[in-house]
Structure 1
Amino acid sequence: MAVNLNASAPVMLDRNTRFEEASVIRGNTFRYRYTVLNTSNPDSLVENGLQSLKENIGKEFSSNPDLRIFKENNVTIEYVYNDENGRTIRSAQITPNDYQ
């Protein structure tokens, strides 16, 4: 899955968010890495996006068959957001308990 996602990376997802890469890391964790661009307050932008993600994660996992692989393998999903200089702004983890 990471290989497929990375084939088109980097790619702009919207005006402020560029998907950089996906990878599998320690502890059965799938990591998505993004860069936040074109904003003077990237922390606020990321915080709002993560809040929305957490509020909708259960619905997304129950309605999107592409995410079944995460459920079947009890994968933790990590989202890492960096600023334009490569510094981490914020990261968040979604555990199997969050989406089961």
Structure 2
Amino acid sequence: MKTKCSNCQTENENTSKYCSICGYRLPILEIENSVSEIESKKTNKLKRDFNLKATLGFVISFVIVFFVTQSLFKPSFSLDKQLVDAANELNKNCPMNVDADTVLENTVAAPNKTFQYNYLLIRLTKAEIKIDTIKKYLFPSILENVRSNPQMKSFRHNKVTINYSYKDKNGVFVFDYIIKPEMYSDVKD
């Protein structure tokens, strides 16, 4: 945009204060008008940018809140599906020798956030098993494993009931040991 000299009608750059031909002072009003137009455009652009940023911030915040609430308040069927997937994954390696006397036959995801390990005691019959001895020595170590094993963290976090079911070498049911969430709820992960 050019500014005309009011004295000689020569076109000058709009940034010039004096005419390049006659040296006459150019009208400041036009420069001020163009400066105010530029400032007005900048202000409008800043307002649009601010509105765009505010809208974008709101959308991003909404998406983050949506995904956080979905992950914190997942429906129970999602946890049930995760338990089924975990059981299926473990069952790929079953039966699995745990020690010289115990075999993990399989795992099962049961309703109500329950996960079950099914063991077979391969050297003993039900008549040979002393339940009091099992309760005294085996149960505390199983509970400690649930409370401290990093691989059990997701079970603890989701308050899963864990059932350990044992059969003798003939496949006869011997005992269950059920660990409920309140038995490990004081663990800080």
Normalised by the size of structure 1, how large is the TM-score?
0.80
Q: Quote the residue 1:43 is aligned against.
A: 129
Measure how far apart 1:74 and its partner are.
0.8
5+ long unaligned stretches in structure 1: none
How many Å apart are 1:49 and its aligned residue?
Answer: 4.4
Q: Deviations over 1:21-62 (max 9, x none)?
A: 011112211000001111355522x654454354242x4345
Distance (Å, rounded) in 2 between the aligned partners of 1:81 and 1:62: 20
Equivalent-residue separation in structure 2 for 1:28 and 1:51 (angstroms): 27
Of 91, 105, 110 in structure 2, the residue corresponding to residue 20 of structure 1 is: 105
RMSD (CA atoms):
2.1
Q: Matches of residues 50-65 of structure 1 in structure 2 within 5 Å?
A: 50-56=135-141, 57=143, 59-65=144-150
Structure with the bigger percentage of helix: 2
Question: 2:154 — aligned with what?
Answer: 69
Higher relative contact order (Cα pairs below 8 Å, separated by 6+ residues): 1
SS of the counterpart of 2:129?
helix
Q: Which structure has greater strand proportion?
A: 1
Give me the whole-angstrom Cα distance separating, in 1, the residues matched to 2:110 and 2:92. Answer: 18
The 3 A distance-change label for structure 1 pair 19 and 3 is same
AA in 2 matched with 1:29: T
Structure 2 unaligned segments of length 5 or more: list them: 1-85
1:85, CA displacement in angstroms?
2.2
TM-score (norm 2): 0.46
Shift of 1:92: 1.4
Q: How many residues align?
A: 98
Where does structure 1 differ by over 3 angstroms across 4 or more consecutive aligned residues? 46-54, 59-63
